[in-house]
Amino acid sequence: MRPVMFERHVRMALLAVLVLGVLPAWSQPGNTRVFGTVTDQISGEALMQAVVLNGTQGVTTDLDGKYELRLPAGSYTLKVSYVGYEPLTKTVQVQGTQMRLDFALSSLVLGEAEVVADVAIERETPVAFSNITPLKIQEELGSQPIPMILNTTPGVYATQAGSDDSGPSISIRGFKQRNVSVLVDGIPVNDMESGGVFWNNWFGLDLVTQTMQVQRGLGASKLALPAIGGTVNIITQGIESARRTSVKQEVGSFGMTRTSIGHTSGRLPGGWGYTVSGSFQNRQGWFEQDYNRSWFYYGKVQRILGDHTLSLSATGAPTENAVRSYQQRIATHDLDYARSLFRGDDAAYERMRGYSQAYDQIFNDGSLTQAQEADAIQDLNEQYGYNSVADFEQEMSETDFIDTTGVVAYGTAYNVHWGMLNGQPLVERINQYHKPLFSLRHNWRVNDRWYLSNMLYASYGYGGGTRLDNSLGAGDYTPDGQVDFEKFYATNTVGGLFGPPIDPTYSDSLLKSSRILRKSFNNHQWFGILSTFRYEHSEAWSFSGGVDFRTYRGEHYAEVYDLLGGDYFVDAFNKNAASKMRQTGDKIGFHNDALVRWGGFFGLAEYKGLLYNWFFNVSGVYQGYKSIDFFAPLDVVIGTERWREQLSYGEAFVRNDITGETQVVQNDEVQVQGEGAVVEGETLEQATVIRHGESGTENNNSGWKWLPGFTLKTGGNYNLTEYTNAFVNLGYLSRTPVFRNVVDFSNELASNIVNEVILSTEVGYSYSRYPFSANVNAYYTDWNNRPLQSLLRFETVEGDLVFANINSMSARHMGWEVDGAWELNRSFTLEGYISLGDWRWTSSEDSLVLLDDRTGQPYLDQLGQPAMVTYDATGVRVGDAPQHQYSLSLKYSYKDFYIRPRYTLFDRYFADFDPFSLNGANAGRQSWQLPTYGILDIHAGYNVDFGETNWDIRLSLFNVLNTIYINNAQNNDAFGQYYFTDSDRRYAFATNNFDAASSSVYMGPGFQSNFSLRVRF
Amino acid sequence: MRFFNIALSGLLFLPLAGAAQCTDIFISEYVEGTGNNKAIEFYNPTGNPINLAPYVLQRWSNGEAGSTDQTALVGQIAPNSTFVLVNGQTEDIDLGGGNISPACDPALQLLGNQLDNPYPAPTYMNGDDALVLVKNNNTVVDIFGKPGEDPGVAWTDDAANGFTDGDGGTWLTSNHTLRRKYAVTGGVTLPPVAFDTFLQWDTLEVNTWSGLGAHACACNPTGVSAPRVQARPEIRVFPNPSADASLQITSSVPMERVEVYTAAGVLVQQNALSGLSWQAAWEQNIPSSGVYFVNVTLIGGTTYSHRWLIP
- State residue A581's pLDDT score: 95
Averaged pLDDT for residues A48-77? 83
CB B200 within 8 A of CB B18: yes
Averaged pLDDT for residues A964-984? 86
Distant-in-sequence, close-in-space partners of A911: CB < 8 Å, separation ≥ 6: A879, A880, A927, A928, A929, A930, A969, A970, A971, A999
- State residue A817's pLDDT score: 96
Closest Cα of chain B to A871: distance in Å? Answer: 10
Interface confidence: ipTM more than 0.90: no
Query: Taking 90 as the threshold, does the pLDDT of residue A76 lie above it?
Result: no
Amino acid (1-letter code) at residue A306: G
Contacts of A388 in chain B (CB under 8 A): 261, 265, 293, 295, 305
pLDDT tens profile A747-774: 888 777 889 999 999 999 999 888 899 9
Neighbouring C-alpha atoms within 13 Å toward the C-beta of A348: 13
Amino acid (1-letter code) at residue A546: G
B94 touches chain A (CB under 8 A): yes
B300 touches chain A (CB under 8 A): no
B261 with A496: Cβ contact below 8 A = no
Distances (CA, A) of B147 to A494, A503, B65, B265: 15, 10, 6, 45
Low-confidence ranges of chain B (pLDDT < 50): 1-18, 226-230
CB B270 within 8 A of CB B235: no
A575 with B66: Cβ contact below 8 A = no
pLDDT tens profile A906-958: 999 999 988 888 888 888 999 999 999 999 999 999 999 888 899 999 999 99
- pTM above 0.90? no
Query: Taking 50 as the threshold, does the pLDDT of residue A662 lie above it?
Result: yes
Averaged pLDDT for residues A967-994? 85
CA–CA dist B311, A867 (Å, integer)? 12
Q: Scan residues 154-173 of B and list those with Cβ closer than 8 Å to A.
A: 160-162, 164-168
- B1, B4, B89, B99: best to mutate for the A interface, most A CBs within 10 A: B99
Distant-in-sequence, close-in-space partners of A499: CB < 8 Å, separation ≥ 6: none
B265 with A474: Cβ contact below 8 A = no
A505 with B118: Cβ contact below 8 A = no
Exposed, middle or buried, B8 (CB in 10 Å: 0-12/13-18/19+)?
middle
CA–CA dist A190, A186 (Å, integer)? 12
**The dihedral formed by the CA atoms of A472, A473, A478 and A482, expressed in degrees to the nearest 10:** 40
Residue B162: closest C-alpha in chain A? A505
Report which secondary-structure segment, H or E, holds A40: strand A32-40
Closest Cα of chain A to B298: distance in Å? Answer: 11
- State residue A164's pLDDT score: 42
CA–CA dist A1013, A14 (Å, integer)? 31
CB A492 within 8 A of CB A486: no
Residue A213 backbone dihedrals phi, psi, to 5 degrees: -125, 130
Strands A418-421 and A424-427: what pairing?
antiparallel
Q: Which of B120, B147, B148 sits opposite A473 (nearest CB)?
A: B120
B209 touches chain A (CB under 8 A): no
- Count Cβ neighbours within 10 Å for each residue of A610-643 and write b for 16 or more, e otherwise: eebbbbebbbbbbbbbbbbbbbbbbbbbeeeeeb
Q: State the pLDDT confidence band at A712, using cuts at 50, 70 and 90.
A: very high
- State residue B36's pLDDT score: 92
Contacts of B261 in chain A (CB under 8 A): 387-388, 390
Query: Taking 50 as the threshold, does the pLDDT of residue A10 lie above it?
Result: no
CB B106 within 8 A of CB B152: no
CB B82 within 8 A of CB B282: no
pLDDT tens profile A555-568: 999 999 999 999 99
Closest Cα of chain B to A869: distance in Å? Answer: 9
CB B155 within 8 A of CB B130: no
Q: How many CB atoms lie within 10 A of CB B55?
A: 23
Instruction: Tell me the sheet residues that pair with B142.
Output: B133
CA–CA dist B83, B229 (Å, integer)? 11
Q: Where is pLDDT greater, at A120 or A788?
A: A120
Nearest CA to A657 out of A673, A634, A642, A676 is that of A676
Residue A792: closest C-alpha in chain B? B98
Chain centroid to Cα A372, Å, comes to 53
Q: Where is pLDDT greater, at B106 or A581?
A: A581
pLDDT tens profile A11-31: 444 444 444 444 444 444 568
Contacts of A370 in chain B (CB under 8 A): 115, 232, 304
- State residue A161's pLDDT score: 63
B232 touches chain A (CB under 8 A): yes
Closest Cα of chain B to A475: distance in Å? Answer: 6
- State residue A861's pLDDT score: 66
Q: In what order do the strands lie in the sheet with A180-184?
A: A129-132, A209-216, A230-236, A180-184, A187-188
Contacts of B166 in chain A (CB under 8 A): 572, 575, 580, 648
Residue B59: closest C-alpha in chain A? A475
pLDDT tens profile A438-474: 999 999 988 888 999 999 999 999 999 999 998 888 7
CB B31 within 8 A of CB B39: yes
CB A583 within 8 A of CB A568: yes
Q: State the pLDDT confidence band at A114, using cuts at 50, 70 and 90.
A: low
CB under 8 A, 24+ apart: contacts of A890-895: A890/A828, A890/A829, A890/A830, A890/A831, A891/A828, A891/A829, A891/A830, A891/A831, A892/A827, A892/A828, A893/A826, A893/A827, A893/A829, A894/A827
Average confidence score pLDDT of chain A: 88
Residue A974: closest C-alpha in chain B? B95
Q: Which of B134, B175, B264 sits opposite A921 (nearest CB)?
A: B264
3-state secondary structure A330-387: HHHHCHHHHHHCCCCCHHHHHHHHHHHHHHHHHHCCCCCCHHHHHHHHHHHHHHHCCC
B148 with A473: Cβ contact below 8 A = no
CB A59 within 8 A of CB A80: no
CB A20 within 8 A of CB A85: no
- State residue B9's pLDDT score: 42
Q: Where is pLDDT greater, at B289 or A359?
A: A359
Nearest CA to A742 out of A675, A670, A791, A696 is that of A791
Strands A98-100 and A32-40: what pairing?
parallel
CA–CA dist B126, B121 (Å, integer)? 11
- State residue A799's pLDDT score: 63
Residue B309: closest C-alpha in chain A? A920
DSSP code per residue over B31-75: EE-STT-EEEEEE--SSS-EE-TTEEEEEEGGG-SS-SEEEE--S
Nearest CA to B66 out of A328, A573, A565, A408 is that of A565
Collapsing DSSP states into helix, strand and coil, what is residue A149?
helix
Chain centroid to Cα A862, Å, comes to 41
Contacts of B175 in chain A (CB under 8 A): 798-799
CB A431 within 8 A of CB A356: no
Query: Considering only A253-262, A288-297, B66-75, B243-252, which range has the smallest mean pLDDT?
Result: B243-252
DSSP code per residue over A216-260: ETT-S--S----SSEEEEEEE----SS-EEEEEEEEETTTEEEEE
Contacts of B62 in chain A (CB under 8 A): 470
Residue A925: closest C-alpha in chain B? B264
Q: How many CB atoms lie within 10 A of CB B288?
A: 12
Neighbouring C-alpha atoms within 13 Å toward the C-beta of B60: 25
Nearest CA to A139 out of A889, A993, A921, A837 is that of A889
Nearest CA to A585 out of A649, A517, A503, A524 is that of A517
Averaged pLDDT for residues A193-205? 89
CB A234 within 8 A of CB A228: no
Averaged pLDDT for residues A385-408? 93
Amino acid (1-letter code) at residue A603: G
Strand ranges in A630-735 using DSSP code E only, listed in sequence order: 634-638, 641-647, 651-656, 662-666, 670-673, 676-679, 682-684, 687-691, 697-698, 700-701, 705-718, 724-735
CB A808 within 8 A of CB A845: yes
Strand ranges in A801-895 using DSSP code E only, listed in sequence order: 801-804, 810-823, 828-841, 844-849, 868-872, 882-894
Neighbouring C-alpha atoms within 13 Å toward the C-beta of A560: 23
Residue A190 backbone dihedrals phi, psi, to 5 degrees: -60, 140
Q: How many CB atoms lie within 10 A of CB A238?
A: 21
Q: Which of A515, A789, A795 sits opposite B34 (nearest CB)?
A: A795
pLDDT tens profile A795-813: 666 666 677 777 778 999 9
CA–CA dist A870, A879 (Å, integer)? 20
Q: Which of B99, B267, B289 sits opposite A793 (nearest CB)?
A: B99
Chain centroid to Cα A319, Å, comes to 16
Closest Cα of chain A to B79: distance in Å? Answer: 23
B304 touches chain A (CB under 8 A): yes
Instruction: Tell me the sheet residues that pair with A712.
Output: A618, A732
Closest Cα of chain B to A509: distance in Å? Answer: 14
Q: Which of B1, B97, B290 sits opposite A914 (nearest CB)?
A: B97
